[in-house]
Amino acid sequence: MGSPVIFAVAAILLVLGLGGAVFAFAESGGTSKKRLQAVSRQTAVGTGPRNTADTQQQRRRNVTALLKDIEKQQAQQKQRPTLRRRLEQAGLTISPRTFWIVCGIAAFAAAAGCLVTHRAWWVAVCAALFFGLGLPRWVVSFMIKRRIKAFTAEFANAIDVIVRSVKSGLPTNEALKIVAREMSAPVGPEFFKLCEGLKVGVTLEQGLKKMFENMPTAEVSFFGIVMTIQQKSGGNLSEALGNLAFVLRDRKRLQGKIKAMSSEAKASAMIIGSLPPVVGFLVWMSTPAYIESLFTERMGNLMIAGCVVWMSVGIWVMSKMIAFKH
């Protein structure tokens, strides 16, 4: 009797032991899976913000490096431009060789006119230098300033066209083409050159650099920085360009305010600068014999030359005094 009972008890204990072992392993496996899943979730939650922070930090580094490169390029471009570049900025299609030929013809004609009218040799030299070097360069500088002023006046409207085109779903290249097609000169031709460069494989950064060389203004520099950063680092292009257009209009309003506030000083400078030649002309009209010695005597010619030099220096100083940076 004892043996069957012992065997039954042993069998029950064995079954209970096996069941406990299976239950323990099953529970430990489930717990391990739960713990693994919890750790995985914690890792995902912990690495998510870290990855976002790393991405933002890397983006800041890229933007900083890009800004440094742009500053270096602008520092190089601040050097005096070549004659070919100045002719392009003025909107002229002639070559430097043609420009120098025209300058030589003008200098020769001025010197020949002085010699034919029996003027002194130094008068002929001065006339040749003025009509051969001074006047053509002044004309080119005047055309550059006028073209830059016209470009700046319409540049904010061109950016608004790009913003509306991008918001409507058009790609950036198509928005640039719309500006090149719809805007008047000189904004349209400059964007047309940019689009033509993009067609033949020029990168957007290189095309914007070329635009800044043709239009060396702060507005074009801002536009190039925004477009380049958006292309390399991403972001909302329409919002960035909208803010840029707002800034450009604020700059224009500030420029108008400065012009209004400095108008009195400019009027005073113009009156003071024009008073001596006007008085001299009136004296010559009323009593020519009284002032004729200034043109016939050598000492009078030297006095006129000195007056011209000192008046030029005075006008230059007054122009610098009323020129406000903004």
On whether residue 14 sits in a domain, the answer given is no
Highest mean pLDDT among 8-17, 42-51, 166-175, 234-243: 166-175
Give the domain extent around 193.
Answer: 152-256
Kindly state the percentage of the chain with pLDDT values over 70. 75
Q: Tell me the average pLDDT of the chain.
A: 79
On whether residue 20 sits in a domain, the answer given is no
Question: What's the pLDDT band for 42 if we cut at 50, 70, 90?
Answer: very low
Verify that 190 and 236 share a domain, yes or no.
yes
Verify that 234 and 312 share a domain, yes or no.
no
Verify that 276 and 324 share a domain, yes or no.
yes
Q: How do residues 83-118 score in pLDDT, each as one tens digit?
A: 888 998 888 889 999 999 999 999 999 999 988 988
Among candidate residues 256, 286, 317, the one where a domain is terminated: 256
Among candidate residues 256, 283, 308, the one where a domain is terminated: 256
Verify that 250 and 294 share a domain, yes or no.
no
d(CA 179, CA 152): 14
d(CA 156, CA 171): 19
Q: Which residue has the higher pLDDT, 188 or 269?
A: 188
Among candidate residues 197, 227, 256, the one where a domain is terminated: 256
On whether residue 24 sits in a domain, the answer given is no
Verify that 276 and 312 share a domain, yes or no.
yes
Average pLDDT of the residues in 165-179: 90
CATH number of the domain enclosing 159: 1.20.81
How many domains is the chain partitioned into structurally? 2
Q: CA 159, 162, 164, 166 torsion: positive or negative?
A: negative
Task: Mention every residue, 6+ apart, whose C-beta is less than 8 A from residue 205.
Answer: 224, 228, 231
Verify that 248 and 201 share a domain, yes or no.
yes
Verify that 220 and 316 share a domain, yes or no.
no
Average pLDDT of the residues in 241-259: 86
